[in-house]
């Protein structure tokens, strides 16, 4: 009996691969880099499943090329805006994610950006590396901002936002948040978090951390108006999706000192161009999309992506399904 075929779009942690190769014929690009669309169109022919990352756009063209065998698209990510969910659902193709696995790692990184920005850690490091520290300790060298007792604004108090709030409590931060839907009083009390309007969040945050999901309603949610409402002493942190912030407006805000700085792990276009003006601004920290980049997290992501795919092809419920309306078709 012929084994089902799985296309794995790029090289990922081996734990999930080891699980899948027991049951399926695996087709690889065998590179850590995102494949071109033309490569994917060739590789997906007659496959039963696709294991992709957030860098690969899985649209109707890819689904057409795969053909009628395609039953599941398992993404090695918590986000799924790179997949045409409506098209997949219409075709009866299950779309799965790694769900909440990366929440703690991303929250750690978020706190790291807050610490590094407010205390000028990167600037101090480079000051020494560049051989500029000549006078020893001085009273006014790289004066930063307090974290302890400051106000943390969280835009999107979901799984990652909640993990950030738990960490912020250790710094005795005043936590305010804005969601589309207010959380229960019990959750607010547990996190010491206060619900505020969007504008109140902008106006009162010393650190504004973005953790909302990305969709068409959130495109450029942070733009000129929003940046001008923020404190001149505030910092903007984004470990969610790059397109939530209008980068051109952010560059203008940083240059004109409407805000004190920004820590960005995600960008509108990745990788960012060498011509991007963010590279010339000193009061920013830029990271190459490292939110989930720990050995432990990536290993778990690989396993869950593989289990999701295997469960669907075995007619079982996956660990995390996006188009839940298809659940009725599974045993």
Of 263, 273, 262, 223, the residue nearest 243 (C-alpha) = 223
Q: Which of 91, 166, 289, 299 is catalytic?
A: 289
Q: Tell me if residue 289 is catalytic.
A: yes
Q: Tell me if residue 241 is catalytic.
A: yes
Q: Which of 10, 241, 298, 310 is catalytic?
A: 241
Of 160, 182, 187, 41, the residue nearest 102 (C-alpha) = 160
99: left (phi over 0), alpha (psi -120 to 50) or beta: left
Answer for the pair 85, 322: CB distance below 8 angstroms, yes or no: yes
User: Which two tokens mark 94?
Assistant: 């299950």
Q: Which of 125, 182, 225, 270 is catalytic?
A: 270
Q: How many angstroms separate the Cα of 153 from the Cα of each of 208, 235, 252?
A: 5, 10, 22
In 97-238, where do the E strands start and end? Answer: 151-155, 174-178, 193-195, 207-210, 235-238
Helix axes 103-118, 159-169, angle to 10 degrees: 50
> 2: buried, middle or exposed (CB in 10 Å: 19+, 13-18, 0-12)?
exposed
Can you name the residues that pair with 74 across neighbouring β-strands? 51, 96
Q: Tell me if residue 270 is catalytic.
A: yes
- Other Cβ atoms less than 10 A from the Cβ of 293: the count is 15
Q: How many angstroms separate the Cα of 285 from the Cα of each of 106, 109, 118, 207?
A: 16, 12, 11, 14
Answer for the pair 285, 116: CB distance below 8 angstroms, yes or no: yes
Rounded CA separation 268/247 (Å): 7
Catalytic residue list: 241, 270, 289
């Amino acid at each position: 009996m012929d084994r089902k075929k799985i296309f794995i779009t790029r090289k990922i942690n081996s734990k999930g691969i080891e699980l899948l190769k027991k049951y399926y014929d695996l087709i690889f690009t065998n590179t850590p880099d995102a494949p071109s669309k033309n490569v994917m169109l060739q590789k997906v022919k007659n496959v039963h499943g696709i294991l992709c990352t957030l860098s690969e756009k899985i649209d109707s063209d890819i689904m057409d090329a795969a053909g009628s065998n395609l039953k599941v698209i398992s993404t090695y990510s918590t986000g799924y805006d790179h997949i045409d969910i409506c098209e997949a659902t219409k075709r009866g193709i299950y779309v799965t994610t790694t769900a909440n696995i990366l929440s703690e790692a991303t929250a750690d990184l978020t706190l790291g950006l807050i610490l590094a920005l407010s205390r000028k850690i990167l600037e101090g490091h480079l000051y020494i590396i560049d051989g500029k520290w000549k006078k020893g300790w001085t009273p006014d060298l790289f004066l930063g901002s307090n974290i302890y007792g400051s106000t943390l604004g969280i835009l999107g108090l979901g799984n990652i936002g909640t993990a950030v709030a738990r960490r912020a409590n250790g710094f005795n931060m005043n936590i305010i948040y804005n969601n589309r839907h207010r959380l229960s009083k019990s959750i607010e009390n547990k996190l010491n978090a206060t619900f505020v309007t969007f504008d109140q969040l902008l106006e009162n945050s010393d650190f504004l951390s973005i953790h909302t999901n990305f969709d068409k309603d959130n495109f450029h949610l942070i733009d000129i108006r929003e940046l001008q409402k923020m404190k001149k002493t505030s910092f903007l942190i984004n470990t969610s999706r790059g397109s939530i912030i209008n980068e051109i407006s952010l560059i203008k805000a940083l240059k004109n000192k409407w805000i004190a700085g920004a820590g960005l792990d995600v960008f509108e276009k990745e990788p960012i161009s060498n011509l991007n003006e963010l590279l010339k601004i000193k009061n920013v920290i830029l990271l190459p999309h490292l939110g989930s980049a720990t050995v432990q997290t990536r290993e778990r992501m690989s396993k869950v992506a593989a289990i999701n795919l295997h469960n669907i092809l075995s007619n079982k419920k996956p660990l995390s399904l996006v188009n839940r309306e298809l659940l009725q078709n599974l045993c």
